[in-house]
Amino acid sequence: MRRAIPILLALCALIAPLVLAVSAADKIRVVTTIPDLKALTEEVGAKLVDVESLARGTQNAHELEVRPSLMLKLRRADILIENGLDLDSWAEVAVQGANNSKIVRGAPGRVDVSRGIQVLDVPGTRVDRSMGDVHPLGNPHYSLDPGMAPIITQNIADGLARFAPEHRATFEKNRQAFLARLDEAMARWTKALEPLKGAKVVVYHPQWIYILHRFGLNQAAALEDRPGIPASPAHLTRVIRQMKEERIKVIIVEPWNDLKLATRVADEAGARAVVLASMVGGVKGADSYIAAIDHNVNALAQALR
Amino acid sequence: MRVLVLVFVLLCTVLAPAAATAQDAAALRREIEQLQKQLQSVTERLQRLESQPPAPTPVAPGTAAPRPAPVSPVSPIDLARPREPYSLYQQRGAGQLLFDIGVAGDFVANLTRGNVEKAGGGTFAGLENRFFPREVELSLFGQIDPYASAVVRIESGEEERAGELAVHLAEANLTLLTLPFGTQAKLGLVRNRFGYNNEHHAHDLPWIDRPNAFRIFFGDEGLNEKGLEATIIPDLPVYLEGLVGVFNGDNEDAFGRATLRAPLVTGRVRTFFELGSEHGILLGMSVANGQTAERLPSTILGWEGRYKYRPDGWLHPLVTVTGEALYSLRKVDVDVDSDGDGVTDSLDRKRRNHWGWYLGAEVQPWRRWAGGLRFDWSQYPQNPGYEYSIEPYVSFWPSEFLRFRLGYKRTDRSTQTREAFNLNDASARRVDEILFQATFILGAHPAHPF
């Protein structure tokens, strides 16, 4: 017993500075599930927030491995901002392993930014898994559609203001400043894609519907047989035939998907496989919200010309 | 002239309505065009309005922002206050259940020699050379209210050769999610969080069968107890999870006292390290201390390690290595036949400290295919002898919800192993088995942690 007391004291002395260092942070600690929401939260919260994302831009946001390191991030969070619509449902497992009452489902620190989004691809009939890994609540990949940013940032500002109501005006001011910059960029993007309105593209995974819809482009087919189900050779043959018949020039590929396969199909069909940033940080240079859309619009415009 | 006047009057009578009709049509066309323009303008305006968020709450100009209130831990008043927004299942429409339902079906086949079947010495003892439902599980889970969640799992499976399928409650527990200071409590019937594989149901294991050491030390079902578990994750820069549990001690293989007067007490400490974004290592140590049905002390210590290498952007890990070790310390009453007449003359109390461990590695170069190898070595908690086995296998996933595995397992038991010989006049000292597993998931199935 006499030996144990000094050991315990030494352990406390070691751990105490770490605990104090962590609790000394005075910013609002925000964790987002995907980097797009991190980028937007940083725009709204600016210096008042310290934001971390659970997923990285190069990862597939549907199937994130729930590591204890994610739980550690969530353990310290004041607010968790999630995409919703079942894209990041894995976050629930991480939250349950984080022992943080501030962000459990139903708590004020849990912010779902899909509230108010006009969701596309909502199944109109009964769905089951024969249709693949289908999202019963609709297509959840709305975050990189610049037209959705006003709604997303409004939800973020509301969530931050619930935690720190005294800063609501600052959050709104930051948000308006960001939306003004986004409006300028929007004019640029619209101009770049205006001549290509009506053009058809093939996607690897059906996650581009919002941005395509925004700029008047059409998704003609997907390389995945059904969402999340790897393509069969027969399906790829059909897609190649369709691309040739309809003279489709572009296959959009996510950074985490099989670029080799997409390139092979594109070569067969006389088209190009283009890697777009499926999330902020997905490709080199796409390290902010506007930069990611800049990359995507420029890459699309260049490939479709 | 009269004729001309008549013709003129007639023409006027005939043409006047036609001219009026033409005028009406032109007016109508103009009106329709006007309406179309108005409709287009309204549609555009509607679209503009829909793409904009609601106006922010106005802030009174000149109002000095109050100083930020210090963030305090959750108080009892906070706990009692209804949460806002109450977002529980807000996305769900009418007519939908307020919890999730999932069904997992796990079917296993094994082929082995006749002597092993006769001795009942295979991995699935008594079910050798059969194809059978090992575990068909109905899971119900979800939020009870803003403060707690619950899980209920009902299982059925073949437990004896061609016997009736028994249905039993595999898990039923609630987790209190909003306790202060980074704590959580789970109470009810739980799969104990002892080491890595014990908390997984058979269909979720990364192998066809549960590692030998766990089957030998805890029985086929593993450690599955009724009681309370509490965890704490301190707010530190490194991940550290502490767990303590108090249970009845119903597990007959390791404990069996089955009373809270001499409870089974469990504990676990876990940590996790990331080496860059691609490598992760989980390390932990567990302990379970209780009494046997004979009121003798029994303690099992466990160590676990799990490593994963997942190249950036991959949808699955490339390499996974998992290992666990168990050390059982218990006292047992050993029969003593002092005069050699084959009749027990007395009981001798002995200490038995025995080991068991396994190490498995899996490589998954493609999304649908993986191959792996597991090596098991284990003593028996009460009896002399040991056994070891080696098990290579391949897994194939047509999709995330369907999986097939095929494996071969070779087990060797030492000559001191009592259970290996002369069982029904057969021997199971050396066992060769071909194992097959088919697993499906219907409906909801939550993601599994690392």
Domain-terminating residue out of A184, A214, A236: A184
The CATH number that applies at residue A277 is: 3.40.50.1980
Residues in chain B: 450
Q: Would B278 be classed as within a structural domain?
A: yes
Q: Would B321 be classed as within a structural domain?
A: yes
What domain count does chain B have? 1
Taking CA–CA distances from B399, the nearest residue in chain A reads A229
Q: Would B276 be classed as within a structural domain?
A: yes
Q: What is the pLDDT of residues A90-132, one digit of tens each?
A: 999 999 999 999 999 989 999 999 999 999 999 888 888 888 8
**Each residue's pLDDT expressed in tens, for chain A with a length of 305 residues:** 455 555 555 554 555 544 444 444 589 999 999 999 999 999 999 999 999 999 999 998 988 899 999 999 999 999 999 999 999 999 999 999 999 999 999 899 999 999 999 999 998 888 888 888 888 899 999 999 999 999 999 999 999 999 999 999 999 999 999 999 999 999 999 999 999 999 999 999 999 999 999 999 999 999 998 888 878 899 999 999 999 999 999 999 999 998 999 999 999 999 999 999 999 999 999 999 999 999 999 999 999 98
Of B87, B235, B367, the CB nearest to A106: B87
Shared domain check, A152 and A81: yes
What domain count does chain A have? 2
Res B42: pLDDT: 59
Shared domain check, A204 and A176: no
Give contacts of B90 with chain A, Cβ < 8 Å: 112, 115
Task: Look up residue B130 and give its two tokens.
Answer: 């059969």
Q: Would A170 be classed as within a structural domain?
A: yes
The pLDDT > 90 percentage for chain B reads: 61
Shared domain check, A144 and A32: yes
Q: Would B118 be classed as within a structural domain?
A: no
Print the domain residue range for A131: 21-184
Given CB atoms, is A226 within the 8 Å cutoff of chain B? no
Confidence of residue B73 (pLDDT cuts 50, 70, 90): very low
Q: With an 8 Å Cβ cutoff, are A168 and B368 in contact?
A: no
Shared domain check, A198 and A135: no
Of B87, B182, B270, the CB nearest to A110: B87
Domain-terminating residue out of A184, A205, A229: A184
Confidence of residue B344 (pLDDT cuts 50, 70, 90): confident
Q: What is the pLDDT of residues B367-386, one digit of tens each?
A: 899 999 999 999 999 888 99
Of B274, B400, B447, the CB nearest to A66: B447
Taking CA–CA distances from B56, the nearest residue in chain A reads A172
- In this predicted structure, the answer to whether residue B285 has a pLDDT above a threshold of 50 is yes
Please tell me the distance from the alpha carbon of residue B409 to that of residue B430, in angstroms, as a whole number: 11
Give contacts of B79 with chain A, Cβ < 8 Å: 101
The CATH number that applies at residue B375 is: 2.40.160.10
Shared domain check, A177 and A37: yes
DSSP A107-149: STTEEETTTT---SS--SS---GGG-S--TT-----TT-GGGH
Q: Would B392 be classed as within a structural domain?
A: yes
Shared domain check, A167 and A26: yes
Q: Would A13 be classed as within a structural domain?
A: no
Q: What is the pLDDT of residues B300-312, one digit of tens each?
A: 999 999 999 999 8
Shared domain check, A139 and A286: no
Please tell me the distance from the alpha carbon of residue A95 to that of residue A257, in angstroms, as a whole number: 27
Q: Would B322 be classed as within a structural domain?
A: yes
- In this predicted structure, the answer to whether residue B190 has a pLDDT above a threshold of 90 is yes
Shared domain check, A233 and A162: no
What's the predicted TM-score (pTM) here? Answer: 0.80
Q: Would A126 be classed as within a structural domain?
A: yes
- In this predicted structure, the answer to whether residue B62 has a pLDDT above a threshold of 60 is no
Shared domain check, A134 and A45: yes
Q: With an 8 Å Cβ cutoff, are A69 and B239 in contact?
A: yes
Q: Would A9 be classed as within a structural domain?
A: no
Domain-terminating residue out of A135, A157, A184: A184
Q: Would B350 be classed as within a structural domain?
A: yes
Residues 52-71 of A with CB under 8 A from B: 56, 58-60, 63-69, 71
Q: With an 8 Å Cβ cutoff, are A92 and B446 in contact?
A: yes
What mean pLDDT comes out for the span B73-99? Answer: 50
The pLDDT > 90 percentage for chain A reads: 78
Mutation site for A-interface testing, chosen from B235, B271, B275 by largest number of A Cβ within 10 Å: B235
Res B426: pLDDT: 82
Q: Would B34 be classed as within a structural domain?
A: no
Q: With an 8 Å Cβ cutoff, are B449 and A110 in contact?
A: no
Give contacts of B72 with chain A, Cβ < 8 Å: none
Mutation site for A-interface testing, chosen from B72, B98, B177, B179 by largest number of A Cβ within 10 Å: B177
The yes/no answer to whether this complex scores an ipTM above 0.85 is no
Q: With an 8 Å Cβ cutoff, are B57 and A228 in contact?
A: no
- In this predicted structure, the answer to whether residue B88 has a pLDDT above a threshold of 70 is no
